[in-house]
Amino acid sequence: MNRPTRLNVSLQAVMNNVSILRSLAPNSLFCAVVKADAYGQGAVRVGQAAIDAGADWLAVALIQEARELREAGIKEPILILSQPHHNEISELKDLKNVRPTVYTAKAVNQIASVTPEAPVHLKINTGMNRVGVSPEDASSLADHIVESGLFLEGVFTHFASADELKSSFPEEQSILFDKVVEELNQNGHHPSIIHMANSAAVLNFPESHRSMVRPGIAMYGAEPSVELRGQCIELGLMPTAQFETEVSFIHKVGKGETVSYGRRWIAEKETLLATLPVGYGDGIPRSWWETGHVIIRGEKCPIRGVITMDQLMVEVNTDVEVGDKAILFGESQQEIITAGEIAEATQTISYEVLASVGKRVPRFYED
């Protein structure tokens, strides 16, 4: 694909970040989260880089994501973070060393009928209220898992607000989770892998590290929240992706002329505009036009007019030429734009900015 718009992924940065995060939880297994195609950066290449840097496990959200990793030759254990849909469970029999998550008796029965004696991980709902068995029902479901012939290898939960430094809720969740694990142990269940720490908890809640940690966003050099941005920079976490394109067209607009749909930007003076062949169809948030910039020739150039599906316009100086590199997020010379900054400006999170980079944007890898 010869399109000038591209996402450059630094596998060296992935390995750097994994090494740093591993050092924060040296006594825990390291499960690298590569769901959603490694947050848009390519699960196979990123997953292998994470393994090369010391990751013990990989985690995905879907069976199809696990299959992609296996077909690429990755042999490390893979955790499927969500309970598989009943239509997909039959696929587990062809996937070796893949651990499904369970939180209902029906799924336990279906998995046991397809892969007898398979190891599973039990998800406990301690307050996220998305999925998971209730703490009150966890022990009885664990009994059912064992009675069905499956092996209860792991138990885990997920934090709702570990990225909020002043929140007491992570500690409340941790206490509740510990009670569940203690009850399981008392009832004869001794899962060997206990895990709950996501990126924010790896960074900020060492008491939660347990036998395995599951960092995601921090592995890609992006902060889990604005509050943790400084800590990520101080630790030396490096952004793993740079989103760039090239200037495709340059023209002038006169004072009083408008730009793009809705005519929402009005030129206050004669202005030189550069058009970039990238838009919200490629994952650039449409709302970013109001405050966004791109980097061209080492300078930040403001976006002018509403971002369209395939193109956006920026104000430039007379030195800019067609073919010049334009960086949507990444760095050039002394300027940098991060996914976190875009997220903050568009009232979303860095996860969404990274994962939204579209399939029509080719990925290139730097070892």
Q: What is the CA radius of gyration of the chain?
A: 23
Amino acid at 20: I
Angle CA 251–257–261, to nearest 5:
85
Q: Is 35 noted as a catalytic residue in this protein? A: yes
Could you say which of 93, 106, 179, 261 is catalytic? 261
Tokens for 275, please give them: 């058009």
Catalytic site residue from 35, 39, 103, 280? 35
Helix then strand then coil, % of the chain, to nearest 5: 35, 25, 40
The dihedral through the CA atoms of 342, 65, 87, 103 has a sign that is negative
Dist. CA 282–CA 131, nearest whole Å: 31
- The rounded distance, in Å, linking the Cα atoms of 285 and 307 is 8
In angstroms, the Cα distances linking 25 to 111, 172, 195 are: 32, 21, 12
SS3 at position 281:
helix
* Beta carbons of 18 and 50 less than 8 angstroms apart: yes
Burial class (CB in 10 A: 0-12, 13-18, 19+), 263: exposed
- Amino acid identity, residue 187? N
Tokens, residue 240: 């793993």
Q: Determine whether 365 is an active site residue.
A: no
Q: DSSP string covering 160-212, please? A: SSTT-TT-SHHHHHHHHHHHHHHHHHHTT---SEEEEE-HHHHHH-GGG-TTE
Q: How many CB atoms lie within 10 A of CB 333?
A: 9
Q: What is the DSSP string of 49-117?
A: HHHHTT--EEEESSHHHHHHHHHTT--S-EEESSPPPTTTGGGGGG-TTEEEEE-SHHHHHHHHHHSTT
Q: Catalytic residues, which ones?
A: 35, 261
